């Protein structure tokens, strides 16, 4: 296999493994990651108009904010669901800037606890909630969403078809689903193989689709593509910190069989290589729900 599993492969990491990964590593991500001060576990994007790191960390959220404002103009009251919400930082950022209600779903009890404390400290508990749950098996009492989004969480999905089926139940007809994540890029699959395997193992990634595969799965679930924005060129690659980490872990060669605390570092280094060589792309893709379905019951 040249890279992370696609929909026809057996997933490498089940929900329990992803839960352990984030329970173990979230506090380190927040302490040592470049977005920890903002509660952001996702990447900074130095897109057009960005002037500082804080703006870069919120670039994707600001794009999603535009989608939410469009829905607010249509319905007045908007329910937003973050699928793989981390510590709830994205929902808090959005809720502080617009009248909306938000629900975050995370597999990790550790993340949910941190998220709830964050929400309470910001005085948002009446409008924002952080729940433990699986976006591939959403809670039965979850209110339908006008907007749902997944930032750097879709790659963890063991079964992307199941993810889209759940999103079709969750998102109201006419509502929006935004996915910002790594996609399989172009280039020599044989040359990319080792790098993508290290990325998959270290990042606990199950799914690395091409944009065409992503669109096809979404369409089968009742979504239509609205836009795709390629953000790869706006990412920070080969920062001094990243170069130093790459040098330190190079002697490891292959990954150990058992999960270790080095996994995120090894996966992150492989991700940097994949992005630099075009084997991995970073896209923000927006879909609109078109087909009526059963909804979340």
pLDDT digits (tens, 9 = 90+) for 129-138: 999 999 999 9
Comparing 265 with 163, the larger pLDDT belongs to 163
For the chain, which domains are there? 15-186+207-237+280-289 (3.40.50.150)
pLDDT at 247 over 60: no
For 122, the 3-state DSSP assignment is coil
Contact between 21 and 32 (Cβ < 8 Å): no
The dihedral formed by the CA atoms of 23, 90, 211 and 234, expressed in degrees to the nearest 10: -110
- The DSSP letter of residue 42 is S
The two structure tokens encoding residue 141: 């009492």
Q: For 21-25, 42-46, 248-252, which range has the lowest pLDDT when averaged over its residues?
A: 248-252
Q: For 68-77, 131-140, 179-188, 202-211, which range has the lowest pLDDT when averaged over its residues?
A: 68-77
Q: How far apart are CA 120 and CA 292, in angstroms?
A: 36
Contact between 137 and 258 (Cβ < 8 Å): no
**What is the predicted pLDDT for the residue at 41?**
85
Contact between 289 and 200 (Cβ < 8 Å): no
How distant is the alpha carbon of residue 43 from its chain centre?
Answer: 10
pLDDT at 104 over 50: yes
Mean pLDDT, residues 5-15 taken together: 61
Treating both helix axes as pointing N-terminal to C-terminal, what angle do 160-170 and 211-220 enclose, rounded to 10 degrees?
50
**What is the predicted pLDDT for the residue at 187?**
74
pLDDT digits (tens, 9 = 90+) for 163-198: 999 999 999 999 999 999 999 998 777 789 989 998
Q: For the whole model, what pTM was predicted?
A: 0.89
**What is the predicted pLDDT for the residue at 5?**
44
Find where tokens 């970073």 sit.
Answer: 282
**What is the predicted pLDDT for the residue at 77?**
79
- In angstroms, the first-to-last Cα distance of the chain is 38
C-beta neighbour count of 286 within 10 angstroms: 21
Q: How far apart are CA 290 and CA 65, in angstroms?
A: 21
């Amino acid at each position: 296999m040249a890279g992370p599993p696609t929909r026809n492969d057996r997933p490498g990491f089940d929900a329990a493994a992803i839960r352990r990964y984030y329970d173990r590593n979230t506090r380190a991500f927040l302490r040592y990651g470049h977005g920890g001060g903002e509660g952001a576990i996702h990447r900074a994007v130095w897109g057009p108009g960005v002037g500082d790191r804080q703006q870069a960390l919120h670039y994707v959220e600001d794009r999603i904010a535009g989608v939410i404002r469009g829905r607010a103009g249509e319905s007045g009251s908007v329910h937003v669901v973050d699928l793989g919400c981390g510590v709830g930082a994205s929902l808090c950022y959005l809720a502080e800037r617009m009248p909306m209600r938000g629900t975050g779903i995370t597999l990790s009890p550790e993340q949910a606890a941190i998220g709830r404390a964050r929400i309470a400290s910001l005085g948002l508990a009446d409008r924002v909630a952080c729940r433990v749950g699986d976006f591939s098996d959403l809670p039965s009492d979850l209110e339908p969403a006008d907007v749902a989004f997944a930032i750097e969480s879709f790659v963890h999905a063991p079964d992307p078809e199941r993810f889209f089926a759940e999103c079709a139940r969750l998102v109201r007809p006419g509502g929006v689903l935004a996915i910002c994540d790594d996609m399989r890029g172009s280039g020599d699959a044989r040359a990319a193989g080792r790098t993508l395997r290290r990325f998959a193992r270290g990042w606990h990634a199950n799914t690395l689709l091409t944009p065409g595969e992503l669109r096809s799965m979404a369409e089968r679930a009742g979504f239509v593509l609205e836009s795709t924005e390629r953000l790869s060129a706006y990412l920070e690659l080969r920062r001094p910190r990243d170069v130093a980490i790459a040098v330190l872990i190079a002697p490891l060669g292959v990954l150990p069989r058992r999960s270790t605390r080095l996994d995120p570092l090894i996966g992150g280094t492989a991700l940097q290589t994949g992005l630099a060589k075009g084997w991995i792309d970073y896209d923000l893709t927006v879909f609109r729900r078109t087909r009526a379905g059963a909804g979340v019951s």
